[in-house]
Amino acid sequence: MTSQREIAIESYGAASTLKVRERPIQAPGAGEVAIDVAYSGINFADIQMRLGFYPDAPKKPFVPGYEVSGKVAAVGPGVTGFTIGQPVVAGTYFGGYTSRAVIPAVQAFALPAHLDLEAGAALPVNYFTAKLALTEMARVRAGDKVLIECATGGVGVLAIQLARHLGAEVTGLTTSPHKKPFIEGLGAKALTKAEWLADATATGYDFILNASGGAEIQPQRARLGITGRMVCIGLSSGVKDGKRSFVRMGMAALRTPRISVLKLFDSNSGIYALNALKVLEDPTWVAKLTQSLGEVEAVGLKPHVGKVFAATDVAEAHHLLETKGATGKVLLAW
Amino acid sequence: MTSQREIAIESYGAASTLKVRERPIQAPGAGEVAIDVAYSGINFADIQMRLGFYPDAPKKPFVPGYEVSGKVAAVGPGVTGFTIGQPVVAGTYFGGYTSRAVIPAVQAFALPAHLDLEAGAALPVNYFTAKLALTEMARVRAGDKVLIECATGGVGVLAIQLARHLGAEVTGLTTSPHKKPFIEGLGAKALTKAEWLADATATGYDFILNASGGAEIQPQRARLGITGRMVCIGLSSGVKDGKRSFVRMGMAALRTPRISVLKLFDSNSGIYALNALKVLEDPTWVAKLTQSLGEVEAVGLKPHVGKVFAATDVAEAHHLLETKGATGKVLLAW
């Protein structure tokens, strides 16, 4: 094998602008591993990047993608603990939409024994996000009343499992009534967003995981209990269909509130925002979070793979995610 | 004894407007206890009320004061667990500037054995505030890097002890260099605010307890670590001397930032604001916090009494607090 395939963002726009291209493979340098990628994970941030709305994205053209699973193909000088052919999961922090990833070895971790390579590719970003939000920011504990807004999304599915493991009482929301049994299967109470809004007893939360951002933040915040906290993890309310996404992202940003600290005194609550990508710019946190993947096997956490597309069908994969048709993680298979 | 003395806010203004008045004593009703008050605690909020800047204050004229210590003088019908003459601490939630308090029995708690009545009166509001900020909101845990801004204040002194008990590494700030040994005696690193601002390594905090509010919030927030949190507990930067307090309170409120949730995504941090008085409007929390006073004896927490004034010298007591001359709690003795 002398060439690899990859998918680059060369211009901003609709999903159809994404195309597979080829380039020669590279040998891993000192401290690096090369991975024959089986699956690449797709994230909302990739869509925001494709639309030109992600401030921390590299300059185009660039290869997006935060995470892969696959088998170790080559090991660079000075790397120990990996063997050729070993199944691994890895954070790539850009460059993940590729058939062969060359990354620092500290960003790779042995595939948890209870997961296959599909589930593995669904793990890094979603698990790191859930972990940062629940364990590091909110510090969820036994007895907490927890609301997971996007309960069927890649983060939500792991967040429910993690919150239940921590002993919390969890409610999961969905916009689609037919997804309620899936949420209940994870051990949470399931409500549609409409049912939740109409339920006057659905209040007093110790922790709300908000994924929509924008105008949805304030009405949810109003349902926090005393000393409760919200962690915002995205702006998915700004993405609905390819055509209107530019306008929607701008609207979502405009609708995202500025919160007066004086008003916070009235509610006795707190608010965090989490951009896992920013956290992963810090090598200390990359190492800490990669190591924490050991918990995935210990707790038996299972990411939920929504749909797998051939890498050449990346436009369809993006479209599914932006129209909110997916339950769980969307992957590209190489 | 047929009459009691009390101090009311009859008009807004300087400390000299506060005067001691007399009224007939009342017998406790069902579920109430009467306390012969030994000491009444003074809080910043009392000063804000006197100046007319506290939105949750009752309509004037009213008797301010959140907390007392003393001995049980009478027990109302249906009350068990208290005996006449028993030393107690109690939250009064207004009405505490009195020589005899009649309150719901659930708001009173046996004086911790290691404390005297002076220290007892310094306990309720400061301990509840520290407890809510550290244990309920921030959820401080072992290994946390913690900054206590007003380390010599009534809350700060207990917050340092509580954070050290929880296993955190604590730095305490003061504006007065001569107070540093006192902070060090509590087990914290001590810095003046100027030293702290000049120290480039004083960053990466998991938790900052902010008491000044206003313009001090943003520069402190900038020193939070990834996933770190600030809890704001007041606006003391708005109070400096009697004459200019109206202007200063207004300025502090104006300088209190509105924090864009979009910007929070850049810092990966969180912010809470705590108004303990609001929390104490909720009977569930009053009961929960009063019960948690059991921890004070178990952990050996010691509030620090700064100065005790005769109740008739209440104007001097207020003045000391508003000029920031006090280290620890200021009390009125009856």
Cβ separation A266–B253 shorter than 8 A: no
How many CB atoms are located within 10 Å of the residue A198 CB?
10
Cβ separation B261–A271 shorter than 8 A: yes
Does any CB of chain B come closer than 8 Å to the CB of residue A273?
Answer: yes
Does any CB of chain A come closer than 8 Å to the CB of residue B72?
Answer: no
Q: Taking a C-beta distance cutoff of 8 angstroms, is the pair B40, B332 a contact? A: yes
Among the partner-chain residues B257, B261, B275, the one whose CB lies closest to the CB of A265 is B275
Find the range with the poorest average confidence among A68-82, A261-275, B13-27.
A261-275
Domain(s) labelled CATH 3.90.180.10 in chain B stretch across 3-123+303-333
pLDDT at B56: 79
- What residue ranges of chain B have pLDDT lower than 70? 1, 235-256, 324-326
Among the partner-chain residues A132, A213, A261, the one whose CB lies closest to the CB of B273 is A261
pLDDT at B325: 66
**Fold of the CATH domain A3-123+303-333:** Quinone Oxidoreductase; Chain A, domain 1 (3.90.180)
Above pLDDT 90, what percent of chain A? 73
- Strand A108-110 with A87-91, pairing: antiparallel
A216 vs B112 pLDDT, higher one: B112
Does any CB of chain A come closer than 8 Å to the CB of residue B271?
Answer: yes
Question: What's the gap in Å between the CA of A257 and the closest CA on chain B?
Answer: 6
Sheet holding A189-192, edge to edge: A189-192, A169-174, A145-148, A205-210, A224-232, A270-273, B270-273, B224-232, B205-210, B145-148, B169-174, B189-192
Q: Is the pLDDT of residue A247 over 60?
A: no
Does any CB of chain B come closer than 8 Å to the CB of residue A260?
Answer: yes
Among the partner-chain residues A132, A232, A268, the one whose CB lies closest to the CB of B261 is A232
B267 vs A79 pLDDT, higher one: A79
Q: How far is CA B321 from CA B41, B179, B329, in A?
A: 12, 16, 9
Cβ separation A227–B273 shorter than 8 A: no
Cα separation, A261 vs B256, whole angstroms? 7
Q: Is the pLDDT of residue A234 over 80?
A: no
pLDDT at B111: 97
Q: Is the pLDDT of residue A241 over 50?
A: no
pLDDT at B243: 42
Question: What's the gap in Å between the CA of A270 and the closest CA on chain B?
Answer: 4
Does any CB of chain B come closer than 8 Å to the CB of residue A200?
Answer: no
Cβ separation B266–A278 shorter than 8 A: yes
pLDDT at B188: 98
Q: Which residues of B touch A136 (CB under 8 A)?
A: 227
Find the range with the poorest average confidence among A124-133, A189-198, B256-265.
B256-265
pLDDT at B241: 46
Beta strands, E only, chain B: 3-8, 19-24, 32-42, 67-75, 87-91, 100-104, 108-110, 145-148, 169-174, 189-192, 205-210, 224-232, 258-260, 270-273, 305-310, 329-333
Domain(s) labelled CATH 3.90.180.10 in chain A stretch across 3-123+303-333, 126-277
Cα separation, B316 vs B334, whole angstroms? 15
Q: Which residues of B touch A251 (CB under 8 A)?
A: none
Question: What's the gap in Å between the CA of B273 and the closest CA on chain A?
Answer: 5
Cα separation, B153 vs B324, whole angstroms? 9
Does any CB of chain B come closer than 8 Å to the CB of residue A268?
Answer: yes
Cβ separation A137–B257 shorter than 8 A: no
Does any CB of chain B come closer than 8 Å to the CB of residue A330?
Answer: no
Q: Which residues of B touch A145 (CB under 8 A)?
A: none
Specify the DSSP class assigned to residue B49.
H
Phi, psi of A204 (to 5 degrees): 75, 30
DSSP string for B151-216: TTSHHHHHHHHHHHHTT-EEEEEES-GGGHHHHHHTTSEEEEHHHHHH-TT---EEEEEE-S-GGG
Does any CB of chain A come closer than 8 Å to the CB of residue B251?
Answer: no
Does any CB of chain B come closer than 8 Å to the CB of residue A259?
Answer: yes
Q: Is the pLDDT of residue A238 over 60?
A: no
Contacts of A293 (CB under 8 A, 6+ apart): A89, A109, A112, A123, A124, A127
CA distance from start to end of chain A: 14
Query: Could you tell me how many CB contacts below 8 A there are between chain A and chain B?
Result: 117
Contacts of B185 (CB under 8 A, 6+ apart): none
Domain(s) labelled CATH 3.40.50.720 in chain B stretch across 126-277
Domain at B126-277: CATH architecture: 3-Layer(aba) Sandwich (3.40)
B247-297 pLDDT, tens digit each: 555 666 666 677 777 777 778 999 999 988 789 888 899 989 999 999 999
Q: Is the ipTM of this complex over 0.85?
A: yes
Q: Taking a C-beta distance cutoff of 8 angstroms, is the pair B183, B190 a contact? A: yes
A17-63 pLDDT, tens digit each: 998 999 999 999 999 999 999 999 998 889 989 999 887 789 999 99
Chain A residue with Cα closest to B275: A265
* Selection from B79, B260, B89, B238 nearest residue A232 by Cα: B260
Q: Is B286 helix (H, G, I), strand (E, B) or coil?
A: helix
Any idea which residue has 């850009």 for tokens? Answer: A94
C-alpha gyration radius of chain A: 20
